[in-house]
Every structure is written in C-alpha cells, then in structure tokens.
Structure 1
Amino acid sequence: RDFYHYYSTMMEPWDGPAAILFSDGDTVGAVLDRNGLRPSRYYITDDNTLILSSEVGVLDIPAEHIVKKSRLEPGKMLLVDTAKKRIISDEECKRYYATRKP
C-alpha cells in the first residue's frame, strides 16, 4: 500500500483517459488508466492472434475464429510473452513483481 500511496503523487497528474501500450522486444503489454476512461477491447483468435483496440470491429474477423473477447478493466494490465507465446494475466504479473526483492 505504501508503494501505491507514494507513487499516486506522481500518477495523479496523468490520471486522465489513457491506454498505454509498451514493449521490450519480447513482452508486449497494455495498461488502462485506473478510472477506465479509455476503452480497450481485445480479441484472441484461434490462430493465437491478439487484437487490441479502442473500438469494436476494427478488423473483420469471422465470429467462429474468435476464441475470447474481453476488455481491459480500469487499472489492469495485459501482458503477452512473445518468446513463450503466452498471455500473462494482471494477477499473475502483480503477484510476480510483488514477491520479488528489489
């Protein structure tokens, strides 16, 4: 809690509508502002393609090829490990970093 309290002083000026996408070359991620003011929806297809967009229907994908439809929730993160070809949930990401020692 102290971590979040301390960093809230730096984040509150950036508390507006924001969806931030990032990558280090192996991991691709997206995070939504804590108020959920910017929509971010994603599809996962049967060929393991992940499509993330602020609008529904950006690409014309037949419904039978969509394995999962979801959206980023306020303050949540979505990570894709491209090396291991897997999606890392918000809970798994936060648990991993919360248990590490700096």
Structure 2
Amino acid sequence: MMIPEPWEQHTTMDERRKAFYEYHAAMLEPWDGPASIVFTDGRQIGATLDRNGLRPSRYIITDDDMVIMGSETGVLPIPESKIVRKWRLQPGKMFLIDLEQGRMINDEELKAGLASAKPYKQWIENLRIKLDDVAEATVAPAS
C-alpha cells in the first residue's frame, strides 16, 4: 500500500489486485523513491522493495532455516555449504515469513490474499465520482 508495485499500466495484473492498489491510492501517495523496508508484527516478518529496485535487498536461507537479508552479500560469514537458497528481492515485490505457520509466503500468494480480502472493486465503483458526472452549477457565483 505504501510502496505499491507499478500497477496503473500493468495490463496483465489481476483486476482484484489493481482495485486494491487503486482503492489505497486515494488515501496515500505512493512512495516512489529508493527504499528497502523491513517490517514485523512479532508473528510475521517481511520486506518490500521499491518499484524501481533502486535499493538492493539480497537474502540467503540456510539448511537450518535461518534467513539473512541485507543490502550487501556476505553480511555474515555463512559457509556456502549451509546455503540452500540465495536470491534477491525483486522490484515492487514482497518477502514474508510467517513464524506461526513456519513458512515463507511468496509475493503472488501474499498479494492475492490481500486483494481478495475486501470488495475493493465494488467499493471503488460505489464511491467514485467522476468529474464528467458532476452537473455544472446552475447558479451564478456571488459577486
């Protein structure tokens, strides 16, 4: 919501996801600058990268389920033999670990769940007022 992926011109994006972004765009101007943000609520921990990918966020997962993320590789001295996955956060994507479920939730699953949680498209259609639909004033302004 705060750092959305590029959605306005995305022709293949799911309509529910587009509606999610459009609904929230009316409340909050998107942050478009370079950013890699990490967040947690104690049950989940995640990260998101700006839509242009201007800040690096690399991560590794070890064979004992440790996840290490940083802007640079080699933040901690982890032997290559312990690394089971080495990757980077993609522009506009999110990374989430659910500690209660004990699993990573990929970007697609995470955003599909958020987009389908509420009827965002219906809310937009019910509440949107287009300038073309607003009648012109029939009373002359006071002088």
Q: Same fold (TM over 0.5)?
A: yes
Say which one has the larger Rg. 2
Scaled by the length of structure 2, what TM-score is found? 0.65
Query: Following the alignment from structure 2 to structure 1, what is the Cα–Cα distance between the partners of residues 20 and 65?
Result: 35
Give 1:76's aligned residue: 93
Q: 1:60 aligns to what?
A: 77
Q: Secondary structure at the match of 2:87?
A: strand
Letter in 2 for 1:31: T
1:76 Cα shift?
0.1
> Aligned pair in 2 of structure 1 residues 100, 3: CA closer, same or farther (>3 Å)?
closer
Runs of 4+ in 1 over 6 A off after TM superposition: none
Long gaps (5+) in structure 1: none
Question: Structure 1 residue 98: deviation in Å?
Answer: 1.5
Aligned mates of 1:55, 1:61 — CA distance in 2: 13
How far apart in 2 are the matches of 1:35 and 1:43? 22
Q: CA deviation at 1:4?
A: 2.9
Give SS of 2:29's match: helix
Match of 2:34 among 17, 20, 23: 17
Query: What is residue 105 of structure 2 aligned with on the other side?
Result: 88
Structure holding more strand per residue: 1
Letter in 1 for 2:54: L
In the alignment, the residues of structure 1 paired with residue 20 and residue 117 of structure 2 have an alpha-carbon distance, to the nearest angstrom, of: 14
**What is the aligned partner in structure 1 of residue 128 from structure 2?**
none
Alpha-carbon distance between aligned partners in 2 of 1:30 and 1:21, rounded to the nearest angstrom: 4
Partner of 1:10, secondary structure, is: coil
Q: What TM-score do you get using the length of structure 1 for normalisation?
A: 0.90
